[in-house]
Amino acid sequence: MKINGLKTYYYIAEGVVKAVDRVSMKINEEEALGVVGESGCGKSTVAHSILRLIRQPGKIVGGEIVFEGQNLLRKSESEMRTIRGGRIAMVFQNPTSSLNPVFTVGSQIGEAIKLHQNVEKQGIKEKVIDMLGKVGIPSPKERMKDYPHEYSGGMCQRAMMAMALSCNPKLLIADEPTTNLDVTIQAQILDLIRALRKEFSASILLIGHDFGVMSELCDRIVVMYSGKVVESADLATIFKEPQHPYTKALLESIPRINIEKERLHVIPGDVPELIKPPPGCRFHPRCEQAMGICSKEEPTIKEIKKGHEVACFLYSQ
């Protein structure tokens, strides 16, 4: 999967919201890529753009998304429908509301299998039981007949994973899969994703704001700010040698369980509104190392070391 110069804009009465503005990234085979950023940085819009789930007033206005050699943005809606849930599956943030409350969990997973795979009726049922067992639902044969409200939050997320993986996707997109869950349940789900990843050998695009969760699963991290990619590198580099001032500041501003700190580093100000982002580098009004050029020109993303890309004028000489 390769994303080149993706632009997804929302056209609202007040103007154009450039939610994703010339974003490029790639996900290698069997790799887990994490996209980190704060709310409104465009990370979820990237995920929705890949599956072409952008609704009015939003529109993908530029760029390309190449998946298995084909540009997804050129696909017809019916072709997209076979890809969604088939080759590319998605797990959403809020598991309890992503399941339909009036159908049993089993029938919803069965529906996904029926749509994408050529299996007869009895086979579907077996597959559902098998998948629910794999994601750790106890006594799947009975629990498949339950309705979503009879499941806890963690179990709903497991059921979503079962649905997503039931068609052996090549790419699994997980948008904040553990955000609404308690820490102990979060640990269970992270453990499960890790185990399933080995079994199904799918690539993962994990979207989130929690660096801790990212470290548990990802091989590479892309940091987004205000609709742009500001830095990307492998996991260890991001934490040991972050280069972009935003990545650095963000890492220093979170309280950590393993580091004693009297005071937290503060990034002044707020995340800018995307309707009128600051000119030049979008982080410059909050940046400690901002220079004259930062407010005038926009930095382009450059490779400073092998596999480590940064969009900042500090590194462009």
Partner 1 sequence: MSETILEVENLKKHFPIYGGVLRRQVAAVHAVDGVSFNIKKAETIGLVGESGCGKTTLGRTILRLIEPTSGAALYMGRDIFKLGRREMRRLRLEMAMVFQDPYASLNPRMTIADIIGEPLDIHNLAKGSEKERRIMELMERVGLTPYHLYRYPHEFSGGQKQRIGIARALAGNPALLVADEPVSSLDVSVRAQILNLLKDLQQEYGFSCLYISHDLSTVKHMSDRVAVMYLGKLVELARVKDIFNDPRHSYTRALISAIPVPGQRREDRIILKGSVPTPINPPAGCRFHPRCYEAKPECAKDEPQLIEVEKDHFVACFGEPEKEVAT
**Which residues bind to partner 1, rule: CB under 8 A?**
38-39, 152-155, 182-188, 190-191, 209-216, 235-236, 238-240, 249-251, 253-258, 261, 263-268, 270-271, 286
CB-wise, 92 or 151, nearer to partner 1?
151
**Shortest approach of partner 1 to residue 262 CB, angstroms?**
8
119 vs 185, beta carbon nearer partner 1? 185
User: Please, what is the minimum distance in Å from the beta carbon of residue 160 to partner 1?
Assistant: 16
141, 125 in Cβ contact below 8 A? no
User: What's the distance, CA 31 to chain centroid?
Assistant: 13
* 8 A C-beta contact, residue 202 and residue 30: yes
CB-side neighbour CA atoms (13 Å) of 4:
9
Q: Which of 313, 296, 294 is nearest to 304 (CA)?
A: 313
Query: Residue 168, by phi and psi: left (phi above 0), alpha (psi -120 to 50) or beta?
Result: left
Q: Report the residue number, 93 or 188, with the smaller CB distance to partner 1.
A: 188
20 or 235: CB nearest partner 1: 235
Closest CA to 299 of 308, 309, 307: 309
3-state secondary structure 216-279: HHCCEEEEEECCEEEEEEEHHHHHHCCCCHHHHHHHHHCCCCCCCCCCCCCCCCCCCCCCCCCC
Q: Cβ closer to partner 1: 127 or 220?
A: 220
Quote the least distance from Cβ 108 to partner 1, whole Å. 21
In the complex with partner 1, which residue's Cβ is closer, 34 or 85?
A: 34
Two structure tokens written together for 209:
């704001």
| Nearest distance in Å: CB 70, partner 1 | 34
- Beta strands 220-225 and 32-36 are parallel
Name the minimum Å distance from CB 136 to partner 1: 9
| Least distance between partner 1 and beta carbon 38 (Å) | 4
Q: Which 3 state secondary structure label does DSSP give 117?
A: coil
Name the residue type at position 202: A
255 or 292: CB nearest partner 1: 255
Of 180, 242, 166, 249, nearest in space to 213 by CA: 180
| Least distance to partner 1, CB of residue 157, Å | 11
